[in-house]
């Protein structure tokens, strides 16, 4: 055995490798492998396979994975009416239409539905995206919800576990911002990020969401960022969220 062999990198799961190279999140990388788009040393990869970065030749759609992109981290104040996706087959407006001047290929972290607004993050760093999204990292997502119905009763119910679809979820924090003759506004923080979770939780608790705005993710607050505008995260913000 020659002495240089000890410096060969250790095998890592392909999903992790693709994620670290800013190609996609681990879940998206797994889909790429299932679709047969990834090869290792000229052989189509299989799910669960490992490889040695810098030693094995890894290609995606025939293009070698040989250079890392600079990581980019962006926050957007999403307006209502935009779909959270990179592209839409029906030609609807997407959040990507708002990232004018961004030269890097980035992906939204999580989702805000078409009728919701507020803080939405983008990156090309799969590991960062996983750190923000995974419930085990306890990143609170806080929303302002204008609702119609018995808001006092809903606030009390929301402080208890709530069953939506087939899952039991709970709000980490619930605050009553204001009351009106027919409803009011709630401040709701959750860790999970299930589809339309806050809207469904409110519906189960007897109130209808009229408008929904995400105002913070973890320690990052929307602040004074104008609706429809974006900015890069600072190094300190990335470190705090990652």
Return the active site residues: 113
**Best CA proximity match to 217, nearest among 127, 112, 102, 114:** 112
**Best CA proximity match to 118, nearest among 186, 212, 213, 221:** 213
Task: Dig out the tokens for 240 from the structure.
Answer: 């705090």
40 burial (CB, 10 Å; 0-12 / 13-18 / 19+) is buried
User: CA 126, CA 72: separation in Å to the nearest integer?
Assistant: 11
**Best CA proximity match to 78, nearest among 190, 205, 214:** 214
């Amino acid at each position: 055995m020659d002495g240089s062999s000890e410096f060969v990198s250790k095998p890592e799961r392909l999903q992790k490798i693709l994620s670290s190279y800013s190609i996609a999140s681990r879940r998206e990388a797994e889909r790429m492998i299932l679709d047969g788009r990834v090869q290792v040393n000229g052989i189509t990869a299989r799910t669960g396979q490992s490889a040695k970065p810098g030693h094995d030749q890894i290609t995606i759609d025939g293009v070698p994975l040989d250079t890392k992109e600079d990581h980019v981290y962006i926050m957007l104040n999403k307006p209502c009416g935009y779909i959270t996706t990179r592209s839409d087959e029906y030609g609807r407006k997407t959040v990507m239409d708002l990232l004018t001047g961004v030269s890097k290929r980035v992906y939204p972290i999580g989702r805000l539905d078409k009728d919701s607004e507020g803080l939405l993050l983008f990156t090309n760093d799969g590991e960062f995206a996983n750190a923000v999204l995974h419930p085990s990292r306890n990143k609170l997502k806080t929303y302002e919800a204008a609702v119609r119905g018995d808001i006092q009763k809903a606030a009390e119910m929301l402080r208890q576990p709530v069953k939506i679809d087939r899952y039991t979820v709970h709000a980490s924090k619930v605050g009553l911002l204001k009351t009106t003759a027919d409803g009011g506004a709630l401040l709701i923080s959750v860790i999970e990020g299930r589809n339309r979770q806050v809207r469904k939780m409110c519906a189960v608790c007897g109130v209808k969401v009229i408008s929904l705005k995400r105002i913070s993710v973890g320690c990052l607050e929307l602040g004074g960022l104008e609706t429809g505008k974006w900015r890069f995260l600072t190094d300190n913000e990335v470190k705090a969220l990652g």
